[in-house]
Amino acid sequence: MARFRRLKNYDITVDKQKAYTHNRLQILIHNHSNRLVGAIIDIGNSPRNSKGKNKTTVSNPQNEGLRFIDDSASNSVPDLFDSPRKTALRRNLKSWYRKKRRELPWRDTSEPYRIWISEIMLQQTTVAAVIPYYHRFFERLPDLVDLATADEDAVLQLWEGLGYYSRARNLHKAAKLLIDEFDGEFPRDVATLQKLPGIGRYTAGAIASFAFGVRAPIVEANTLRLYSRLLAYRDDPKSTAGQRLLWQFAEDILPKTDVGDFNHALMDLGATVCRPSEPDCPECPLVRVCRTAELGLQAEIPLAKQKPQITDLTEVCFAIRHGDEYLLRRRQAGEWWTGLWDFPRLSLTAEEVATLGIGSGQRNPKRSKSKMLPGLELIPSAVNDRLKQEVSTLTGVEIHTGELLEVLKHGVTRYRIRLLCFKADYAQGTIRSDAELEWVHPDAFSEFALTKTARQLANRLTPDRTETQ
Ligand code: SF4
């Protein structure tokens, strides 16, 4: 890190210039209220003093007490990225995109419906995972009216396996609103788009710029990383201050025309060149304007997010058989995977897990029953009565619990869950009329939108064990 020393009122020297790879350094000068009062200085071009150190003079500061701070502390975009840099960024990015753009199924359309669906699918999900879902979705629901008039179950079924199911429910709600209140037309402005369920600032900007060419900025995972590096922003880019800065920057660099392509280019560059680890700076069209490349701070920017503390949970579910059918329950509002169907599922307390004598078990191999849970074939009697009572309360049906079928592991947000799947037989009772419960033949499992683990268990219960995607 360079040290700055004030010689007289407005002269400074830089002692360790070679820390900066491009022999070039820009410094912002702030007063004690942290207000920018000094000019940007290019040390590399300044004359050397008698000791061989670069020396420069601040040309036009206000006459007040100065202190020198590291450049990344500023949150003023125009000062961080001046006009020549912005021009170079637009020009170089444009010519790079012409040669290197990713060919993606949702790129060659300006239909807001398709762009919207693809953007919602891409949230928290990789491009490769989205592509088959994207095609399947449009085979079944090719336009907005189809989506608005579809059953929620049908939409959830098309979403099964993508996760974050509130996205699908919000799509469905927003489609109805677009038909009912907007005559089936997408609004073109970001503010109105953001009023639709599930559409945040990024998605609104993407729809507006990709579909309508509106001059709207975007910040998503790839561009957040790219902007942070272009600016050498060292604080948390997800903090309020970080978000304000990056959105301001995204808006500041927008060209006057071809905004959709420009935003696509930024996303592509972030995804393919300015990667999270080992960004390919030598191949980057923006290397000459990138402040992180200048400073050699690629490994430190953006600031790594803190990993959430993981909590282990053990749950049980029952494949309750009655004749040839099994009992499925639709998950309710406030539960994980709302709207999807599942086998009746219950949590175990830490004390109950202890009575199973199976330890935490979380590090053991996936779905390896014999290694993972030696000795656990049946639910121990200490837990059995409580679970049977809970099943009865949840479903209205009394059961005889049976043997362990499968142990499945999966994660939800910060929870790592081990799911013990037991067989059970119907004993007596009638399913609750005030809950969504159905007896389902294995042949009909494919007609239900199931949770991921329910699908795994359903496949096991299906005679030919055909994997349903
Ligand atoms: S020069 Fe390197 S760090 Fe900077 S934007 Fe390009 S790939 Fe990212």
pLDDT tens, position by position, 446-460? 999 999 999 999 999
Counting every residue written for the chain, the total comes to: 469
CA dist list (Å): 69 to 29, 73, 175: 7, 7, 50
- Ligand 1 pocket, mutate which of 281, 283, 300, 301 (most atoms under 8 A from CB): 281
Which single residue is written with the structure tokens 């494949």? 319
Is residue 247 situated within a structural domain?
A: yes
Q: Cis before residue 344, ω within 30 degrees of 0? A: no
- Ligand 1 pocket, mutate which of 298, 300, 301 (most atoms under 8 A from CB): 298
What angle (nearest 5°) sits at the alpha carbon of residue 278, between those of residues 273 and 279?
25
User: What's the gap in Å between 234 CA and the centre of ligand 1?
Assistant: 15
Rg of the Cα atoms in the chain = 29
| Shared domain check, 288 and 330 | no
Is residue 385 situated within a structural domain?
A: yes
Token pair of 129 as six digits: 């995972």
Helix (H, G, I), strand (E, B) or coil at 432: coil
| Shared domain check, 340 and 230 | no
Do 89 and 286 form a contact (C-beta atoms < 8 A)? yes
Helix (H, G, I), strand (E, B) or coil at 401: strand
Domain count, the chain: 3
| Shared domain check, 281 and 323 | no
State which of 16, 36, 69 marks the end of a domain: 69
- Tell me the H-state helices in 200-239: 201-212, 221-231
State which of 264, 295, 326 marks the end of a domain: 295
Is residue 196 situated within a structural domain?
A: yes
**Atom 8 of ligand 1, residue of closest alpha carbon:** 274
| Shared domain check, 414 and 270 | no
Distance CA 289, CA 291 (A): 6
Instruction: Give this prediction's pTM.
Output: 0.74
pLDDT tens, position by position, 203-241? 999 999 999 999 999 999 999 999 999 999 999 999 999
Q: Would you call 283 a catalytic residue per the annotation?
A: no
Is residue 112 situated within a structural domain?
A: yes
Q: Which domain holds residue 129?
A: 85-295
Helix (H, G, I), strand (E, B) or coil at 162: coil
Q: Which residues 6+ apart lie within 8 Å of 4 measured at CB?
A: 12, 13, 14, 27, 68
State which of 240, 260, 295 marks the end of a domain: 295
Which numbered atom of ligand 1 lies nearest the CA of 273?
Answer: 7
Is residue 119 situated within a structural domain?
A: yes
Distance CA 180, CA 245 (A): 37
CA end-to-end span of the chain: 54
User: What's the gap in Å between 133 CA and the centre of ligand 1?
Assistant: 32
Residue 44 has pLDDT above 50, yes or no: no
pLDDT tens, position by position, 311-364? 999 999 999 999 999 999 999 999 999 999 999 999 998 888 888 776 655 544
Q: Mean pLDDT of all residues in the chain?
A: 83
Q: Which of residues 41 and 248 earns the better pLDDT score?
A: 248
User: What's the gap in Å between 347 CA and the centre of ligand 1?
Assistant: 47
| Shared domain check, 328 and 286 | no
| Shared domain check, 186 and 42 | no
Is residue 74 situated within a structural domain?
A: no
Is residue 468 situated within a structural domain?
A: no
**CATH number of the domain that 352 lies in?**
3.90.79.10
| Shared domain check, 360 and 285 | no
> Residues enclosing ligand 1, CB less than 6 A?
226, 229-230, 273-274, 279-281, 284, 286-287, 290, 292-293, 298
Burial class (CB in 10 A: 0-12, 13-18, 19+), 398: middle
**CATH number of the domain that 290 lies in?**
1.10.340.30
- Tell me the H-state helices in 273-368: 291-295, 350-356
User: What's the gap in Å between 295 CA and the centre of ligand 1?
Assistant: 11
